[in-house]
Structure 1
Amino acid sequence: MTDIEQRLIAAARDGEWLTCAEPDDVVPAGLIRELLLGRHGELDAAGVRLRGARIDGMLNLNRVKASAGLTFTDCTIEEPITALYASLPSLIFNGGRCGGIHADSLHLDSVLFLRNGVRIIADSEPGAVRLVGAHIGGDLDLTGAEITNTAGPALAAGGLEVGGILIFRDGVRILGHGHRGAINLTGAHLASDFDMADTEITNATGPAVVLESAVVDGTFALWRNIRINGHDSGLDLRGAHFLGQFGLRDTEITCSAGIALDANSVKVDGSLMLKSEVRITGRDEASTVNLLGGRISGIVELTDTTITNPAGPAITADRVRIGGDLTLRGRTRLSAGGNGSAIEMAGAHVERFSCDKTVVLETKSAPVLDLRDAAVGVAVGLPHSALCPDRGRGTTCEHKALVRLEHFSYASLASRWDWEEWLHVIRCHTPAYHASGYQRLAAVERAAGHDGTVRRILMAQQTDLRRRSPRSLGGRLTRWFHWLWGVLAGYGYRARRTAAALLLVLVVAGAIGWWAGQVSTRPGHLVAERVASAPVGAGTPCSTVELVGLGLDRGLPLAMTGMRARCDLDTASRKGQAFTAAIWLVQLAVWGLATLALAGYTNLVRKPG
């Protein structure tokens, strides 16, 4: 037995470090296995601890069950360590170099440390560090670690269980290769926090970080100087469950050919916060940030966040459920390309939706917001600058930004919005006419007791129907009557206008009667003159009162004045026939206006267009 071997055995028994200062101080890998198996006597609880050693051969710890831990500080281990189904109190690497760790189903009572500049470099398809199905009772700490694998994942830990914190800090560098990701934590369960800072993770041929179906009982925080670069996915959180808060700060996630942050069906029991210099860039027709079908119990806040996708939507959040507010603040910029919107939230539900005027929403050709079938439980406030910087209230607008509001529901408007601005958005900033936008705004105003406002909104709906969807009304004649209905009756919402029109028609009827008494048909006879049964005799001119009464008698279908018994039109003459036809038109107008007045009064015409 060599001197170095004797020194290691003695140090392990006494709980001391074996410090190797000479280049020839080589420790056989087999001796470490024998020590942990107890073949050289009982070891101190501190375990086997080596500093500056070079390990000769492959360290095989498969199925080793030891009561003492193993610590390497600034050691050189050329071959991968295997620890399949091993059971140790702890496994610690401080600095040094290692050819890999293959430890599927490893059980550690306490911690696994890969920190203080440890370098793990491998060319292994299974993974540089494999912890698939492993159990770590304490923390998994990768502070300052550098893990590189040119043929597979840098950290493959599907199904991993960590009883403490998972830590990436102080200059961590992770480089992986292939479709399984640089870091793969599929189905992992972290009993505490996921804490990452000063970390760079890269995979040029596949996903960067995969946390699909993982469960994090604590806080998920990427909070300082994070760079995640993937090819077809940056941060994959599909089906993951976060019981605490989820936060990104000073983080850059880049994906060259896919979804940068994929959180399809994610569940967050706390809040989701993207704050302070978060930059997310992807390139996928689906989205850059995918929250499709997600469930967030708290609030969702984007502050000073930039999300860019030249190929599709910036954020897709269809059918997402947010228990609190959705808020966009500060210098947030969402840029979409292709046929995608800046935010797509079809079928989503949130409590409040608000957006500061400093927020910028950009699209190539699609509406900036897609809120079809979405619901806001309390109040909604869309960004003025993104839709209409001048906060217009009219029926036309030069700004072209659009928003989809089909079947979008909300309980009220945010305090900085008035109903006229919202009506302007519905009329001028939606891609096509749809009744639901008007009906929802009318319902909100009706609930507030503003009946006059409701009538104005519903009249604007009918006008927009004729302007942007004329074919739905029918043929040209029907459209003309629809226009006339609006002019004369306010589409049934202006009874006074109908009454005024009816009065005007009656005046016209009286005027026709008077005019008929001024037009001659032949010498000594007029279009309107006394009848043969009149006391004065036939052919005698009627008085002015009688002529006006004749017009009213002829124009009013159901209310007779009795003037026709003394004065009537000469229907035998052509001029008399013309005046008779004019009176018929007046009768028709009276019938129509009376019908409109009755329909408006009984609310028969108040239905969505």
Structure 2
Amino acid sequence: MHGLDDLPERERELVEAAQRGLEFKCSDLSVDSLVSDAVDQRDEVRAELLRELLTGRYGPLDPHGVRVRGARIIGRLDLDHVKSEVGLSLIACVLMGEIHAEYATLRHVVLRGSHLNALHADGLCVEGDLVLEDVKIVSENENGSIRLLLAEIKGQMDCDSLVVSNTSGPALLADRIRVGSDLFLRSVSLASSSESGSLQVTGAKIGGDLALDKAKISNEAGPAVVGDSIKVGGSIHFNQTQVLGTGPEGAVRLLNAQIEGQAGFKGGAVINGSGPAIIADGINVRRDIIFHAFKSRGDHVDGAIRLPGAQISGQGEILNSEVANSSGAAILADNLQVGGNLIVQTVKAVGSGHFGTFRLVGAVISGRFVFSDVEIGNASGPAVHADTLRVNGSIQWQRFVAQGGSNSGMVRMSGARVGVQLDFQGEIVNNAGVALHADGLSVESRMMLAIRAHGVGKLGVIRLPGARIGGQFEFHRTYVSSTSADLIELQGATVGGAMFLPFKSLCPAEGTGKVCFHPGRIGIDDFKYATLGNGSWHQWLHLIRCHTGRYRPQPYQQLAAIERAAGHDKNARNVLVAQQRDRLIRSPESIGKFPFTFFHRIWGAIAGYGYRASYLATVLIAFLFMAGSIGYIAGQVDTRPGHHVAERVVPGNVADKTNPGVSCSTIELIGLGLDRGLPLGPAGMRNRCDLDTSTKRGQAFTIAMWIIQAFLWGLVTLGIAGYTSLIRRPS
């Protein structure tokens, strides 16, 4: 231990103050005044003296430690490997040299309001708090202005209002730092030019909150904030934070970060003109993640805000925000997992490219997925790309606008699964392809589309082939338009409840006739539904007949089954008759060539293809009337004097040419016609009255009877076949 006699008076006063636990006030000068050259030596303190005090050269110090205010510290403060029982406080001081405290151990370190050249303290251990509040550092140090690699701060680390400018390296480098409580970086201003990042806390462990509220962090050569694999025991706050980064590594990096509390981005902005804005692949947030009144802009194919593989145990919220990316997705969140609801409200997002503007491929949302007052645009790809999305709750999109040009669909939800219901209310415009592309969509309950949709191309405007809707499916006030595409594709879809179609879009005249010149088309091959929700069966039949691209039997069979199940057998028969007529017109090859098509026409005209028994009965009666009439006429036509074509049968069947024949009665003549014409067993009338086939006139009447009999045979066969449903095959 050294004595104090050799020390100047001011230094003795400092030593005595430290020993007595008092703060040594060196001057009342401001920090700016201390920086100038015209400073009295009484206002200066040697850095070496501070080291000597902390190493115990002048004996034990009070537990309050070394406390200096308003001093100009001369020289480099070398505390490397110093282990002290007390702490160091330099309040409103100016340090002319750098502070080095690598692997030092101090009770506390307070540099509040001071100006430094640099603080290099890798491996520093602080038993209490580290306070860098209102500290200002201006340097050109490629190793970093503040270095705290592997440091351990057992208390709180307070860097509020810290100002650091480094034109050659990081502003604050604290990879793998451990902070027992909160890390405050509120209202800081960190500016640097470093490829590795301005604020670096990769692998850090923060026991409490990480707060960057109202911070301004920028980097001209790389990321602004790098927090890959950081672990935060509390919440992370970017409230009213302004972040500007450069390059493909992103402006804010939080890859595989673990946040036990909430992650909030409120009222600030993250901008990167040459790369992603936020890269948070694999982030794990145990509570909510919130983007509120937030602006983000990036320029990279990988997305402006990246959240692929992220796990959000609470709720995800994007409110009153704007996100833009001129080269890729605005929000890319493939395989995102949200334990609560995902709410996107009053948001404007603009992206570019085939990845889509808002991308949620393979994401899982345990609660509801809500879009409200959202505008999403993409000139060269989907607005929303959510193939194989799974939502255990409902999807509710209200006042939603998606527009642009995508040859793969403007809103994509192919293979998506919705646990409750799906409601779309908004507008989808695609100038290059499908508006809503939802092949294989599955909705457990009801689905409602109240949208204006426009698309082009051959794949349709609204695509739902193979979809499965457990409840009713309603197109409510939906308007669908296209310049070159089918409007709605429902091939192979299944609806468990009532089906409501947008008849006005498909056929503006809402026709019910056999012919229509409106071009709207709907694809309903193998489409199954439980009941008709709107429109009469005539309108449905009109759509099937006039607004489908080709003849298919299943739509007719489905409509007929619905009407039959409702007890409307006549309507069902009319539908099936219309099916056969449409088959003849649009698919004659399924019937065959002539004469099959001819017989098909006759079959329809006479028997209604077996579905109209009254037609067949009428024709049968007509032919039987003809047969009876021919029998009666035969009894009036002469063959020779005294004989007629039909007359009494001569016993022994020996013709008597000398005596006149015996005329048959009217009843016998009619009975003869019926006996000759009936295809079934004879009634026995011919035993008393028959045709004289030995004459030419008798032979002509016989041939006429044969023709009638042949027709009657055919009619009976058709009747039997129709009764046994042999002709009711779905073709």
TM-score with structure 2 setting the length? 0.72
* In structure 2, C-alpha distance between the alignment counterparts of 1:85 and 1:303, rounded to whole Å: 45
Displacement, 1:74? 5.5
Matched residue type, 2:390 = R
Equivalent residue number for residue 440 of structure 1? 558
Equivalent residue number for residue 164 of structure 2? 76
Displacement, 1:573? 5.8
Give the conservation status (yes or no) of the 8 Å contact 1:223–1:251: yes
* In structure 2, C-alpha distance between the alignment counterparts of 1:512 and 1:174, rounded to whole Å: 99
Displacement, 1:173? 3.6
* In structure 1, C-alpha distance between the alignment counterparts of 2:294 and 2:573, rounded to whole Å: 59
Distance 1:399 1:163, change over 3 A: farther
* In structure 1, C-alpha distance between the alignment counterparts of 2:399 and 2:515, rounded to whole Å: 33
Larger RCO (CA under 8 A, 6+ residues apart): 1
* In structure 2, C-alpha distance between the alignment counterparts of 1:161 and 1:373, rounded to whole Å: 44
Equivalent residue number for residue 91 of structure 1? 183
* In structure 2, C-alpha distance between the alignment counterparts of 1:389 and 1:409, rounded to whole Å: 24
Matched residue type, 1:552 = L
Pairing 1:483-502 to 2, within 5 Å after superposition: 483-502=601-620
Equivalent residue number for residue 627 of structure 2? 509
Equivalent residue number for residue 19 of structure 1? 113
Equivalent residue number for residue 557 of structure 1? 679
* In structure 1, C-alpha distance between the alignment counterparts of 2:694 and 2:88, rounded to whole Å: 135
Matched residue type, 1:121 = N
Equivalent residue number for residue 152 of structure 2? 65
Pairing 1:104-253 to 2, within 5 Å after superposition: 104-116=202-214, 118-124=216-222, 127-152=223-248, 153-175=250-272, 177-178=274-275, 181-206=276-301, 207-253=303-349
Distance 1:288 1:14, change over 3 A: closer
TM-score with structure 1 setting the length? 0.85
Matched residue type, 2:116 = V
Equivalent residue number for residue 544 of structure 2? 426
| Counterpart secondary structure, 1:9 | strand
Matched residue type, 2:291 = M
Q: 1:302 aligns with which of 397, 400, 405?
A: 397
Q: 2:363 aligns with which of 257, 261, 266?
A: 266
Distance 1:482 1:187, change over 3 A: farther
Give the conservation status (yes or no) of the 8 Å contact 1:322–1:349: no
* In structure 2, C-alpha distance between the alignment counterparts of 1:504 and 1:277, rounded to whole Å: 70
| Aligned residues: CA RMSD | 3.4
Count of matched residue positions in the alignment of Structure 1 and Structure 2? 591
Distance 1:241 1:276, change over 3 A: same
* In structure 1, C-alpha distance between the alignment counterparts of 2:639 and 2:244, rounded to whole Å: 110
Unpaired runs of at least 5, structure 2: 1-45, 48-70, 78-86, 92-105, 193-197, 428-450
Displacement, 1:30? 1.5
Deviations 1:346-385 (A, max 9, x none): 3333334544543333334232332232333333323344
Distance 1:427 1:583, change over 3 A: same
Equivalent residue number for residue 89 of structure 2? 9
| Counterpart secondary structure, 1:432 | coil
Distance 1:366 1:117, change over 3 A: farther
Displacement, 1:571? 4.8
| Counterpart secondary structure, 1:244 | coil
Matched residue type, 1:146 = Q
- Which 10-residue stretch deviates more, 208-217 or 377-386? 377-386
Equivalent residue number for residue 28 of structure 1? 118
Distance 1:428 1:324, change over 3 A: farther
Distance 1:340 1:237, change over 3 A: farther
Give the conservation status (yes or no) of the 8 Å contact 2:214–2:239: yes
* In structure 1, C-alpha distance between the alignment counterparts of 2:254 and 2:367, rounded to whole Å: 25
* In structure 1, C-alpha distance between the alignment counterparts of 2:208 and 2:505, rounded to whole Å: 53
| Counterpart secondary structure, 2:218 | strand
Matched residue type, 2:263 = L
Matched residue type, 1:26 = L
Distance 1:164 1:502, change over 3 A: farther
Query: Larger radius of gyration, structure 1 or 2?
Result: 2
Give the conservation status (yes or no) of the 8 Å contact 1:158–1:185: yes
Displacement, 1:215? 2.1
Distance 1:370 1:525, change over 3 A: same
* In structure 2, C-alpha distance between the alignment counterparts of 1:438 and 1:557, rounded to whole Å: 35
* In structure 2, C-alpha distance between the alignment counterparts of 1:515 and 1:208, rounded to whole Å: 96
Q: 1:51 aligns with which of 123, 126, 134?
A: 134
Distance 1:244 1:411, change over 3 A: farther
Distance 1:137 1:580, change over 3 A: farther
Matched residue type, 2:481 = E
Give the conservation status (yes or no) of the 8 Å contact 1:321–1:348: no
Give the conservation status (yes or no) of the 8 Å contact 2:251–2:277: yes
Distance 1:427 1:597, change over 3 A: same
Matched residue type, 2:199 = I
The answer to whether the aligner puts 1:386 opposite 2:484 as a matched pair is: no
Distance 1:233 1:14, change over 3 A: closer
| Counterpart secondary structure, 2:202 | coil
Displacement, 1:558? 0.8
